[in-house]
Structure 1
Amino acid sequence: MKTKKKIVLLGMMGSGKSTIGAILSKKLNKSFVDIDKKIEIFQKKKIHQIFKDKGEVFFRELEQDFTLSFLEQKKDIVISIGGGAFLNEKIRKSIKDNSLSFWLDWDAETLVKRTINNKKRPLINGLNKSEIRKIIKERNKIYIKSDFRIFCENHKKNEIVDIIKNILEKNENSN
């Protein structure tokens, strides 16, 4: 199957964007770009270390530059963006203009369980469950602006990929 647009996966940290993106790109025969991984390679540091050493503002500027550069390329690719990237208005506009976006939506409790004890998640490191739930609730107000919302709860990875593929096929056939 050949889709005409870039595919962007977005959602909270722990939603499986990188994992789903890697599987989806193979099934679609497209390249896969994980923006956080690209930043880590460029900086030669993990994201949590970048936050610690240079702060969130520095990271967000890098995230914007990397994300926009991949969105503006002519190549059709699958892109996994960081959990906070879609909150950035420039990134969101470019995603809307240059791609089809899929929000990997999970129950807040699932996301809390997946992330609460992960020390590599700088934005939630040290937060309690209710504080993490509040971040999820706030971000969901922006994530809803994606083209498609995928309810991932109770689905295996390959099922989520198949749901996205089916949407892409329907979208392709309607054009």
Structure 2
Amino acid sequence: MQLEAGRANISVRRLADLARALDRSPADLLDDHEDTAPQVIALLGLRGAGKTTIGRRLARRLRLPFIELDRCIEQAADLSLEELFSLHGEEYYRRLERDTLVEVLAERRPMVLATGGGIVAAAETFALLRRSAVTVWLRASPEDHWNRVVGQGDRRPMADHPQAMADLRALLAARQPLYATADFTVDTSGQTIDRVIENVREVVGAAEVPGLKTRPTRREASRWDPRGSHGRRATGRRALQR
């Protein structure tokens, strides 16, 4: 069958049905064929790391699709992230995050994937991602995370929360050991967008990602685009945690 040959573009529902029939998990079936599947370049980091800005332009240069996992989650739930957390809580979000990641990986095609900032804290989901993708942590200083979020025109993380910057520092410090387990780390602080993209291309190229074309397109503007993140945004502390 095509799945055994590593060529199937199987839907998550069919994958789940097959897993049940074999008394295995969908993630196990993906693991069985990870060596033959074109890999995903997964970008990690808190909001403001540059995952959307860098990811979109990197994908354009590599001629790959760009996927934002949180946008896929919103589409699956038909809710914004803020509504999803408010109505169903974080545990539900984490389950949906994992299911959505399984569905994205089941497409079995190379892509650039921007992940949610908290995916590293979901051990099973992050383990699946690390088995199935080349992971790159876009590392930035707390000040750059903060300034980029504000540069997007979103001042809500500061609203009625004077300790927001201290919370951001603490969150980044707590997650840093998890982010550091990524295959590669690329610093974005003090770097132009072009330089960061080239650095990511260099480390990913060294990893010899299967199915990846590394021919660049025309050179792009080197300034950070403060409107890099789009879609419906969370408020308060969660706006910085994504």
User: TM-score scaled to structure 2, two decimals?
Assistant: 0.63
The answer (yes or no) to whether the contact 1:87–1:139 under 8 Å persists in 2 is: yes
**1:172 positional shift:** 2.1
The answer (yes or no) to whether the contact 1:71–1:94 under 8 Å persists in 2 is: no
- Which amino acid in 2 is paired with 1:36? D
Q: How does 1:86-97 map to 2 (within 5 A)?
A: 86-97=120-131
Q: Counterpart of 2:47?
A: 13
Q: Counterpart of 2:15?
A: none
Deviation above 6 Å: which 4+ runs of structure 1? Answer: none
Pick from 98, 104, 125: which aligns with 1:70?
104
Q: Counterpart of 1:159?
A: 195
Tell me which protein shows more strand as a share of its residues.
Answer: 1
Q: Deviations over 1:68-96 (max 9, x none)?
A: 32234321111111000122112222222
Q: Counterpart of 2:141?
A: 107
The answer (yes or no) to whether the contact 1:9–1:21 under 8 Å persists in 2 is: yes
Pick from 55, 68, 72: which aligns with 2:89?
55
The answer (yes or no) to whether the contact 1:112–1:133 under 8 Å persists in 2 is: no
Give RMSD over aligned pairs.
Answer: 2.3
Q: CA–CA distance in 2 between the matches of 1:76 and 1:43?
A: 25
User: TM-score scaled to structure 1, two decimals?
Assistant: 0.85
Equivalent pairs: percent with the same residue? 23
**1:115 positional shift:** 4.0
Distance 1:167 1:68, change over 3 A: same
Larger Rg: 2
Give the total of aligned pairs. 168
Q: CA–CA distance in 1 between the matches of 2:96 and 2:39?
A: 24
Q: Deviations over 1:107-153 (max 9, x none)?
A: 1222133447643x7xx994521122101100111000000001111
- Which amino acid in 1 is paired with 2:198? D
Q: CA–CA distance in 2 between the matches of 1:135 and 1:37?
A: 23
Q: Counterpart of 2:113?
A: 79
